[in-house]
Amino acid sequence: MTDVLPDRIQPLNERAQADEAEYVLYWMQQSQRARNNPALERALRHANSEGLPLLVVFGLMDDYPEANLRHYTFMLEGLRDTRRRLQERGIRMVVRHGRPDEVALHYADQAAILVTDRGYLRHQRHWRSRVAEEAPCRVEQVEGDAVVPVETVTDNAEYAARTIRPKIHEHLDRCLRLPEPAAPEHPSLNLDVDEGLFPNDVGTITDQLDLDRSVPPVSSLHQGGTSEAERVLDGFLAEHLEGYDDNRNQIHSSAVSHMSKYLHFGQISPVWLAQQVRATEAPEGDIDSYIEELVVRRELAANHVYFRPDTYDSYECLPEWARESLAEHADDEREYLYSRDELERGRTHDPYWNAAMKEMRETGYMHNYMRMYWGKKILEWSPAPRTAFERALHLNNKYFLDGRDPNSFANVAWIFGLHDRGWKERPVYGKVRYMSQGGLERKADPDAYVEKVDRLAATAQSS
């Protein structure tokens, strides 16, 4: 039976497994899925080896950083699906109200071994460090959010995609495998633990939580869960993977996979996703183009967050050349200046930018090419570069379903020069890459994009 790749397993403390335990514990937090989940399979193998049942717990807090009703609804839709799939495997899952580290420590008292998945953000790392320090048993972390674990790739923050690409491809084929699912030898459905919350009725749970309710759910357009992710992927592979390399920047088209939101919540495995894409008969160039986005670009973002733990979400994460150049042009005259409220409402002179903001605000998504244009114009229309950075990150994390993610922090920083090089110097932008309305019109069909956004927004508002 194929086991978990050793690169993915990292002991977080040096304690021995606890004696006289009642179960093996999988503290699920980042990899919110019941299949193709290395942390789950590692925990299940421990349970079978020790002759114990496996208990899965998830900590649901009210005030997850920058999350609102839109994010919670999508996540709970996924947890509902995950809990059902675990039940079908004979595995008990408890969703408990509380801070994730507190929930994990509560159940660790009766655990022989605690296995958890991996998160890269500052608070996620803090939670795992605390659990490893205070849990009475051995704690293991298992990477399930990246195809190639960050430490396997490199030991430093990479400069750009071109520097990390060969390092990832050196290990890619070896890391593109998943452990075979094991059957629990001691089912845990009747384990004597508290019931927790039941995510079957998402609205009932969100009503009980003290949430930011300023951003509504978008379930009529994008519903959470592994089952839904698989359905959406099937459509993409059948209809849009062929031609992806040519069409992925055509903003009016539907030639996108919509996997980023499912990857963000760990509802789908990036390894499994890469396997599915590679198994098709699509042209090699289209497959390679998708793998570049899924693995190289996404894991460059993970590298950024992991090796810049104190600055990944701040203006200080930008390369020195970019900050110096932007500072030299900070006082340049701007043709247009908008407040954050005007930007958030999409009240600018640019109909294409307004449509992008509308897509983000009303649907929780924006075509990736438009995300670049959207961010560049915030830089151009804000009174100072640092102000623009803060506005772009705030709006990104507030409205996108895939916001608050390593990709979010890296992509917003890219707008201001991260992972890029200096270009021809110009007003406001300095040597940071420029994007224009004319360039958008030459490369895409923004009028058709505006029409598409209007249709999507109408669907979202009618639900």
**E strands of 89-190, at which residues?**
92-97, 111-117, 138-142
Give the CA radius of gyration of the chain: 22
- Residues ≥6 apart with Cβ < 8 Å to 231: none
* Structural domains of the chain, with CATH: 1-144 (3.40.50.620), 146-180+225-309 (1.25.40.80), 315-462 (1.10.579.10)
pLDDT attached to residue 249: 87
Decide: residue 266, CB within 10 A, 0-12 exposed, 13-18 middle, 19+ buried: buried
- Per-residue pLDDT reduced to its tens digit, 349-406: 999 999 999 999 999 999 999 999 999 999 999 999 999 999 999 999 999 999 999 9
pLDDT band at 18 (very low <50, low <70, confident <90, very high): confident
Output DSSP code: residue 16.
P
Residue 4 reports pLDDT greater than 90: yes
For residue range 87-97, what is the model confidence (pLDDT) as tens digits? Answer: 999 999 999 99
Identify which of 392, 447, 436, 399 has the alpha carbon closest to the alpha carbon of residue 414.
392
d(CA 370, CA 374): 6
**Across 238-243, average pLDDT:** 96
Average pLDDT over residues 225-252: 95
What proportion of the chain, given as a percentage, has pLDDT over 90?
A: 94
Across residues 108-123, what is the average pLDDT?
97
Q: Could you tell me the CA-to-CA distances from 402 to 155, 261, 384, 454, 462 in Å, in that order? A: 27, 4, 26, 21, 23
Q: What's the whole-number average pLDDT of the chain?
A: 96
Q: At residue 1, does pLDDT exceed 70?
A: no
CA nearest 107: which of 123, 131, 83?
Answer: 131
Q: Which tens digits make up the pLDDT trace of 183-231?
A: 999 999 999 999 899 888 999 999 999 999 999 999 999 999 999 999 9
Distance CA(375)–CA(359), nearest Å, equals: 14
- List pLDDT tens digits, range 415-445: 999 999 999 999 999 999 999 999 999 999 9
Residue 308 tokens read as 């810049």
For residue 456, name the pLDDT band (cuts at 50, 70, 90).
very high
Q: The sheet that has 92-97: what strands, in order across it?
A: 9-11, 138-142, 111-117, 23-27, 54-60, 92-97
Mean pLDDT of 306-326: 98
Beta bridge partners of 25: 55, 114
